Amino acid sequence: MKPLLSEIEDNDPLRALGRASVQIVHDLKNQLNGLKLYATFLRKRLEKSERPADELETVNKLIAGLDRTAADLSMIVEYGQPLELRKQTGIDLEKLVRSVAANLNDNPRVSGALAGSIVIDSESAPLIGEFDSAMLSNALKSISLGAMKLVTSKSNEGSLKINLKRHSIETKSDGVIEWRVLGSLDHDPFHSFAGSDEIRMSLAARVIEAHGGSAERQDGTLRVRLPLAP
């Protein structure tokens, strides 16, 4: 059955808007890069002078803000593009999670907001599957960062706990990853689009689903399921 003419006409503006938004984001990023260049020059001059430390701190915050804005713009473009997975067999899901956790624990600018560290509890069962390791690692990082902020917003103490386990029904097995945040959540961070963090988690959910898995929240737990090799 062919689509109605009105449906085609309705879709054309959306496609045009999508193409235009990519160009707009590209232009905005160029402007941000110019601002960052000037701010970097200013920081170098402040470092060589005897200006008050708070002035240098202000410039550093400005540069960090420009970096975050540029990253958010890139994320918006990425969200609107189709996913192209490059899967490889024999990928260890537990190693991916532990690598993400180690990188976050070693980055004080990221994990400094968390009083403790990321703690992983894993079963001895193997979690081997066919995954795009780079894309999946980025998705797991986005979810972990979102979970860290949720933990921090509910408590100034404690660590982020991640649980890994294998769940099997007959011949089908899934790797299950759970991020334990405190208390119940009043929204679904995987589908809320409430801010840049939620958009990152929504993009992460798309990556999970493209692997044949699922991402959901239940009470105070963020849960990801990914199909494992037989």
CATH code for position 94? 3.30.565.10
Question: Among residues 30, 33, 210, 216, which one has the least CA distance to residue 138?
Answer: 210
Is it the case that residue 27 has pLDDT exceeding 80?
no
Q: What percent of the chain has pLDDT over 90?
A: 31
Convert the pLDDT of each residue in 106-142 to its tens digit. Answer: 875 554 455 567 889 998 889 999 999 999 999 999 9
Six-digit token string for 9 = 């006409």
Residues 67 and 170 in one domain: no
Convert the pLDDT of each residue in 63-101 to its tens digit. Answer: 777 777 777 777 766 666 778 899 999 999 999 999 999
Residues 106 and 207 in one domain: yes
Convert the pLDDT of each residue in 213-222 to its tens digit. Answer: 999 988 788 9
| Structural domains counted in the chain | 2
Is it the case that residue 224 has pLDDT exceeding 50?
yes
Compute the radius of gyration of the chain from its Cα atoms.
Answer: 21
Say how many C-beta atoms besides its own lie within 10 A of residue 81's C-beta. 9
Residues 93 and 201 in one domain: yes
Provide the domain limits for residue 19.
Answer: 5-79
End-to-end, the C-alpha distance of the chain in Å comes to: 39
Q: Where are the alpha helices (DSSP H) in the chain?
A: 5-48, 53-79, 93-105, 108-111, 133-154, 196-210
Residues 178 and 216 in one domain: yes
Residues 100 and 64 in one domain: no
Residues 211 and 125 in one domain: yes
pLDDT class of 6 with cuts at 50, 70, 90: very low
Residues 59 and 24 in one domain: yes
Instruction: Report phi then psi at 161, rounded to 5.
Output: -105, 130
